[in-house]
Chain A
Amino acid sequence: MSLFKTKGEQKRGSPKAARWILRRWGPAHRHVEMAGDLEELYALRTKRYGPAKARRLYWQDVLSICFRRSLHARQTPHTLPYETARGPIMLKNYLKIALRNLKRQKGYTFINVAGLAVGLACCLLIVLYVQDERSYDRHHENADRIFRLTIEYTGDDGTHWAPIGPPVGQAFKAQMPEVEQIARIFPFGSRAVLQVEDQQFEESGGVYADSTVFEVFTLPLARGNPATALAAPGSIVLSERIARKYFGDDDPMGHAVTVTGWRDMTVTGIMKDVPPTTHLPFDFMVSMQTFYDQAGDWVEQARTWAGFYTYVLLREAHQTETITQKAPAFVNTFFEGRFEQPADEVMRFVLQPLPEIHLHSKLEKEYRANSDVLYVYVFSAIALFVLLIACINFVNLATARAATRMREVGVRKTLGAQRLQLARQFLGEAALMAAMALVLAGVLIVLWLPVFNHLTGKALTLADLQDPGLLLGLTGMALLTGLISGAYPAFVISGFRPTQALRGAGASKASQPALLRKGLVVFQFAISIFLLIGTAVVLNQLTFFRTKQLGFDKERVVHVRLGGELNDAIENNLETVKQELLRHPAILTVSMAADVPGERYSLENMTVDGHRDDEETMMRIAWGVDHDYIETLGIELAAGRDFSREAPADTNAWIVNEAAARRLGLDDAVGRVMRWGNYAGPIVGVAKDFHFASLHHEIEPLVIPLRPGVGGMLLARVQGEQMPGALAALEATLNDLVPGQLFRYSFVADDFDLLYRNEDKLRDVFGYFAAIAIFIACLGLFGLAAFTAEQRRKEIGVRKVMGATVPQIVLLLSKEFTVLVGIAFVVAAPAAYFAMQRWLEDFAYRVEISWPIFLIAGLAALGIAWLTVSYQSIKASVANPVESLRYE
């Protein structure tokens, strides 16, 4: 021991050898504190026992430490923070680094978060829409047991009718024990005018309903007794909305309401407003007995009349099968003698499940035009694409950005970070970003909801969002996106060796998935271009719809709905009223009719005397037409003449269109006698085909019988610019005739516009989503361009030093993206062509998809891409090369 005693050591005290041993063999990670402790003890002991004993004890302590294995164990609580990273220390560090990164790269953060937020918001809105569409009629407690009874005629040109004959329902119930109850709904033909004291309101949603309607459907009454409310004739049940409008806060029960043209009703019930999610919306119900009393006996005989919507409530939902088996026998007995063949060869019953009517039913004479499940699919597909684009961006930018963090990864690995830790860090960062996007998406939804409601004609509210499943799903979606996008940096970059990463070799390795990133850009632009072309085609088709010459004058014809007293008054002095109206210089011709173009005419069976064995042919019929109809609408004749007051034979006469003549196989239609039930008369003229219905369909055979004075509608052709004056004159004249009547008019052109509502909707949806898709794609491109410019900084610097000009460099940087957009175009154009061609096939009259559409869509995409990239490329190319090269 004395060997080790040196002078310096004596001064410092503790034995040098022991200290060396402690440093060499003691637990390294705790050396500092232990050495300190021992030194301190040595000083104390020297004072107390003298240096010799202190030295001995020092040796003893050192050896006791070195030989105690437990002290060497690394799992002791106080190791370095990097080595465990379980605690909140690392979490705090990760969070700090993540926030710093987000802050330092504000542009990237914005692009990423905004892009994903827009995608999420769109997707959520569409989920809401789809959810709403699918919720139709499910609010009825018995929804799964309610079916609509419809009749399908099985012939060649078979038609499937939503409403059926009035007596069918009761007979059906009597024959089928599976049927618990039936309820029939018969809508008021057009808008009804309701009068309470001296107030008049026009209401569109009025129906006659069986008293059993409350047993079949869930229609809670706020006032009144469901068992009796619709039992007696003259009973009316109002919705709360209407009741409030007419009666304010007064109690409406027992009050009188006049439905003009019918009779006085008594309010016997107030029902809760029917929710908008039903295929059968109505605002008031009049007892069915009221209709029977006024209409007379023929109603019970009208077995084949498609008039009443008939709903059956089955005891068990699955009994549809037994009913379908028994139905043909019922059809045969019920319709016996109506057809030449057995009835079950002509028609069959079809039971439509109530909740499916809204999306899947497109029958003749639907209560309201239903939606189409196709739109649900289109919307869903678009939502998915937009979300996909947003996710792609997210992944794209995250991978691009990850390369810039090679050094950090290298440093972390050097300091002992495990691969899994790094993976968790990157995944966590991505999740953080996704969470931010989620919050922003929430804000966007609040802002967009009104626009979206306008677009879809729905009344979605934020309350619809408070569905925990929906919110959970959305959050899951956002986090999943985050995780997927974090996956690349998490698992690829974390696998690099620290030396590689630190040397920057990783950067080149990180750009290996450049092909993938380029592929993603191509994909995004392909979708955008697809949507652009789609929008253009829909727009073209709609313009075509609106501007196509229909073969009659739709622009200048106004029609006025007459009701009740007014109708009676005009029927009785039609000619006087006409003369009165024609005195006004702006009004050119006036006609009274029951049907105007733009409405769906009914189909009836016609026979032509002595032709084809009196075979019946189904044709559309324009009913209740007077002598001036053809002239007022400006329909041209191909053969024969117009109805004439001078020709006495014209009391019963027909004008048919060319399609009808062709259908009948008549070259010489004029002069033939055509028969429809007990209406028979000569065909006096053949009208050139005109589009009396929407352009979705071919022009159907149409027959026009002369039946003056049973109209219900007044048509007037007006001198173009003098519309306001003409309308005023019409209103004044009608008001003189019957004072205090509501003046209800519309233009035939507007009625036609309504026929293309679905296409309008599609155009809007395509347009908006194309804009959003392009926006998101551009965000992605912008970020990527910035990244590329950043990566090629040095290259650009060298090029500039060597004499490259700014335009040359801008061109260099833009070239790559131009190629990508070009590829996207090549991918998207044929796909769009075929998809839109399929869409157009639904229309009998359609536009050609012409090459300028593709040219414009492609150039627009390219232009937008250039604009997006140009900011970055110009910025990169005007930069001083000194900046980028000074570290070399």
Chain B
Amino acid sequence: MKHLHLGEFEELVLLAVCGLGETAYAVPIQQRIETRTGRAATMGAVYAALDRLENKGFLASRLGAVTRQRGGKRKRFYEITGAGLAAVSAMRQARERMWDGLEWQPSLGLE
């Protein structure tokens, strides 16, 4: 398999899927990114990122069962794969190695 690049927005989506666990589908993913980063992503962007991640093999999806919610329309649930986990942790380690030994401490985002 060729080297799979993980884009910045893709990383956020992937982490969101991780954080949501079993309830990861497009709506909570979009909401989580919005509440945690302040970035209001359009659904088009979210779907596109999910597709890309799935094509890269970092995510797997399945259609949920038909329920009474939202007019019986099914949800597509996402789940992180082993490759996906490896990709996010590699990204995190890379980041940490870059930060390592830096004197200047930036204030961390959300506060």
Q: Which A positions have Cβ atoms within 8 angstroms of B?
A: 30, 32-41, 44, 57, 60-61, 63-68, 70-71, 76-78
A-B pairs, top 8 by smallest CB distance, nearest first, are: A64-B44, A36-B73, A64-B42, A61-B43, A65-B44, A37-B26, A68-B44, A36-B70
| Residues of B that sit less than 8 Å from A by CB | 25-27, 30-31, 40, 42-45, 47-48, 51-52, 54-55, 61, 63, 69-71, 73-76
**Residue contact B63 to A39, C-beta cutoff 8 Å:** no
A-B CB contact pairs (8 Å), 22 listed: A32-B74, A33-B26, A33-B73, A33-B75, A34-B43, A36-B71, A37-B25, A37-B75, A40-B27, A44-B27, A44-B31, A61-B44, A64-B42, A65-B47, A67-B44, A68-B45, A71-B48, A71-B51, A76-B55, A77-B54, A78-B61, A78-B63
- Interface contact B44-A41, CB-CB below 8 Å: no
Q: Which residues of chain B are near A68, meaning CB under 8 Å? A: 44-45, 47-48
CB neighbours of A77 from chain B (8 A): 51, 54-55, 61
Contacts of A64 in B (CB 8 A): 42-45
Are B42 and A60 in contact (CB-based, < 8 A)? yes
| Docked pose: A859 CA to B99 CA in angstroms | 98
Q: How far is the CA of A61 from the CA of B45 in the complex (A)?
A: 9
With A34-B43, A44-B31, A64-B43 as contacts: A70 and B51 at CB distance below 8 Å:
yes
Cα distance A35–B70 when bound, in Å? Answer: 9
Min Cβ gap B72→A in Å is: 8
Interface of B is mostly: helix
Please indicate the chain B residues that have their CB under 8 angstroms from the CB of A65 in the complex: 43-44, 47
Task: Give the complex CA separation of A554 and B75 in angstroms.
Answer: 97
Instruction: Given the known inter-chain contacts A77-B61, A78-B63, please indicate yes or no for A39 contacting B44, CB distance below 8 A.
Output: no
Report chain A residues within 8 Å CB of B71.
36, 39
Q: Which of A36, A39, A71 has the most CB of B within 10 A?
A: A36
Q: CB-CB < 8 A to B31: which residues of A?
A: 41, 44
A61 CA / B48 CA spacing, docked (Å): 12
**Contact A38/B43 with A71-B48, A76-B51 known, Cβ cut-off 8 Å:** yes
With both chains docked as a complex, state the minimum distance between the C-beta of A84 and any C-beta of chain B, in angstroms. Answer: 14
Which listed residue, B42, B70, B76, touches A40 by the CB 8 Å rule?
B70
Cβ contacts under 8 Å, B45 to chain A: 64, 68
How far, in angstroms, from A76 to B49 measured CA to CA in the complex? 12
Q: Which residues of A contact B30 (CB under 8 A)?
A: 41
Complex Cα distance, B47 from A65, in Å, reads: 8
Contacts of B27 in A (CB 8 A): 37, 40-41, 44
Please judge, given known A-B contacts A36-B74, A77-B55, whether A70 and B48 are in contact too, CB under 8 Å.
Answer: yes
CA distance A32 to B48 in the complex (A): 16
CB distance from A687 to the nearest CB of B (A): 96
Question: What's the least CB distance linking A69 to chain B, in Å?
Answer: 9
CB-CB under 8 A from B63, the residues of chain A are 33, 78
Chain B nearest CB: distance from A157 CB in Å?
83
Q: Tell me, rounded to whole Å, the shortest Cβ–Cβ distance linking B39 to chain A.
A: 14
Q: Which of B43, B70, B73 has the most CB of A within 10 A?
A: B43
**What separation, in Å, do the CA atoms of A41 and B30 have in the docked complex?**
9
Output the least CB separation between A32 and chain B (Å). 5
A570, B77: Cα distance in complex, Å: 107
CB-CB < 8 A to B43: which residues of A? 34, 37-38, 41, 61, 64-65
Bound together, the chains give a CA A68 to CA B73 distance in angstroms of 22
Residues of A within 8 A of B47 (CB): 30, 34, 65, 68, 71
Give chain B residues whose Cβ lies under 8 Å from the Cβ of A61: 42-44
Q: How far is the CA of A37 from the CA of B45 in the complex (A)?
A: 14
Contact of A39 with B48 in the complex, beta carbons under 8 Å: no
Residues on A with beta carbons closer than 8 Å to the beta carbon of B76? 30, 33, 78
> Once the chains are docked, how many angstroms separate the CA of A57 from the CA of B46?
14
A15 to chain B, nearest CB (A): 14
Residues of A within 8 A of B52 (CB): 70
Query: In whole angstroms, what is the CA distance A818 to B98 when docked?
Result: 91
Closest to B57 in A: A77
State in angstroms the CA–CA spacing of A309 and B48 once bound together: 90
Question: Cβ of A76: which chain B residues have Cβ within 8 Å of it?
Answer: 51, 54-55
Task: Find the A residue at minimum CB distance from B29.
Answer: A37
| Complex: A38 Cα to B30 Cα, angstroms | 11
How long is the Cα–Cα vector from A482 to B27 in the complex, in angstroms?
52
- Distance in Å: Cβ of A496 to nearest Cβ of chain B: 34
Contacts A36-B70, A70-B48 supplied; 5 other A-B pairs, CB < 8 Å? A33-B74, A33-B75, A34-B43, A37-B25, A78-B76
**A678–B22 CA distance with the chains assembled, in angstroms:** 114
Q: How far is the CB of A183 from chain B (nearest CB, A)?
A: 68
From residue A54, how far is it (CB to closest CB) to chain B in Å? 13
Interchain CA distance A39-B71 in the complex, whole Å: 9
Return the chain A residue nearest B52 by Cβ. Answer: A70
- Chain B, residue nearest A35 (CB): B73
- B73 (CB) vs chain A CBs: closest residue: A36
Contact indicator B70/A39 (Cβ below 8 Å): yes
Give the CA-CA distance A57 to B31 in the complex, in Å.
13
Q: How far is the CB of A97 from chain B (nearest CB, A)?
A: 24
CA distance A523 to B71 in the complex (A): 66
Q: In the docked arrangement, what's the CA distance between A76 and B61, Å?
A: 11
Q: Which residues of B contact A44 (CB under 8 A)?
A: 27, 31
Please, how many angstroms separate the alpha-carbon atoms of A57 and B45 in the complex?
13
**CB-nearest residue of chain B to A75:** B55
In the assembled complex, how far is the CB of residue B30 from the closest CB belonging to chain A, in whole angstroms?
7
Complex Cα–Cα for A67 and B27 (A)? 19
Could you tell me the distance between the alpha carbons of A419 and B46 in the complex, rounded to whole angstroms? Answer: 37
> What is the CB-to-nearest-CB distance from A40 to chain B, in angstroms, rounded to a whole number?
5
Chain B residue nearest in CB terms to A77 = B54
Q: Which of A65, A66, A67 has the most CB of B within 10 A?
A: A65
Q: Taking CB as reference atom, which chain B residue is nearest A65? A: B44
Instruction: Report Cα–Cα, A36/B43, bound state, in Å.
Output: 12
Shortest beta-carbon distance from B10 to chain A in Å: 13
Q: Smallest Cβ distance from A64 to chain B, in angstroms? A: 3
> Which residues of A have CB within 8 Å of B61?
77-78
State A57–B76 Cα separation when bound (angstroms). 21
Query: Residue of B at shortest CB range from A67?
Result: B44
Q: Which residue of A lies closest to B31 (CB)?
A: A44
Contacts of A78 in B (CB 8 A): 61, 63, 76
Within the complex, what minimum Cβ distance (angstroms) separates A12 from chain B? 9
Question: CA of A60 to CA of B41 in the docked complex: distance in angstroms?
Answer: 10
**Distance from A763 Cβ to chain B, minimum over Cβ atoms (Å):** 68
* Interfacial chain B residues near A36, Cβ < 8 Å: 70-71, 73-75
